[in-house]
Amino acid sequence: MSNKEGKEKLNIRELIKAKGIPGAIKDLTLNSQVWRSFFRHGLEDTPKTRMQTVISNSFLHLHPAKVKRHAPLFKYTWCMGGITFFTFLLLTITCVFLMFYYHPNVRDAYWDMKGLEYHVPFGLLLRNLHRWGAHLMVITVWFHMFRVFMTGSYKPPREFNWGIGVVLLVFTLLLSFTGYLLPWDQLGFWAVTVGTNMARATPGLGHEGPFGEMLGMTAYNDIRFALLGGSMVGGNALLRAYIWHCVGLPLIVSAFLIVHFWRIRKDGGISGKL
């Protein structure tokens, strides 16, 4: 024990002599067990560390270590998938803060919106970011789909991932739609009333749809009732929209996103001329 300690001390003295105090500190830090447990590779710019940077980082290694030459080109992907993903992350973050101030009940919901505007520091900015971010996500997901179509990237072997994409598209719209009701103002209330009225007309499952009545559908047991938790848009509908919007749908979207990203890798990365 004492032998070893003595040796260490000697080394440090030598190190300081050789590299000066700052150099010695840097050297010791980079070689310490703590540092090495965080970062598994050096910092010099070599092909090896470039690849290690990607594959030893949980988040970066969503990417392959190398990509096709045209993959980072804006004119190929328009960056639209990535931007859609970023808006999703941004919405998730702003959502957490909005939830601190929002009560999903008929009495409070609307006044919480006013509260955000008048009482919460940067509350209105937070709400604006969430609202416009949601619009942006709908727009970018459409552009992404359009890009994927125009490059024919749905063709084999990416057929399945296109299908996953269509599911993501539908759920993106549903996320936006359920969020629309939450401010509980005239705009959201009537938009959701108009939207869910369509469900009444579902063939067989809605009480105003073809064959609905024949199959025993009424305003109190049809598919619209199940969506709204009532025969009209009220407190139950607000709570359901809230839970779908903040918990249910984001979980589903996250699951499909995992599959989407994984499949991009498994299908050979971004498509390109063979």
Partner 1 sequence: MPDKKETAQGRYRALAFVKGESLAKEKDSQVSEDELHTWPYLVRKEFLAVIIVMIILMIWSIALDAPLEEPSDPSLTPNPAKAPWYFLGLQEMLVYFDPWIAGVIFPSLIVMGLMVIPYVDINPKGNGYYTFKERKFAIVTFCFGFHVLWILLIIVGVFMRGPGWLWFWPWEEWDSHRIVAETNYDLTQFIGIDSKSLLGSIIGGGIVTIYFFLGMTVPYLLMKMRKSQMLEKLGTIRYSIVAFLFWSMLGLPIKMVLKLVLHLKYIWVTPWFNI
Binding site for ligand HEM (CB under 6 A): 77, 80-82, 84-85, 88, 141, 144-145, 148, 151, 153-154, 158, 161-162, 165-166, 168-169, 172, 257, 260, 264, 270-271
Helix axes 249-266, 80-100, angle to 10 degrees: 160
The tokens for 229 are 């938790």
Return the number of the residue (19 or 154) whose C-beta is nearest partner 1. Answer: 154
Interface pattern 224-253 for partner 1 (x via CB under 8 A) = --------xxx-------------------
- Separation CA 217–CA 207 (nearest Å): 5
Amino acid 205 reads L
Return the number of the residue (13 or 265) whose C-beta is nearest ligand HEM. Answer: 265
- Contact of 189 with 196, CB cutoff 8 Å: no
Among 88, 98, 123, 153, binds partner 1 (CB under 8 A): 153
Q: How many CA atoms lie within 13 A of 95 on its CB side?
A: 18
Nearest Cα neighbor of 137 from 250, 35, 224 is: 250
Among 24, 95, 98, 129, binds partner 1 (CB under 8 A): 129
Q: Residue number with the shortest CB distance to ligand HEM?
A: 165
- Separation CA 33–CA 221 (nearest Å): 64
- Establish if 104 lies at the interface with partner 1 (CB under 8 A): no
Q: What residue 260 binds from partner 1, ligand HEM, none (CB within 5 to 8 A, per partner kind)?
A: ligand HEM
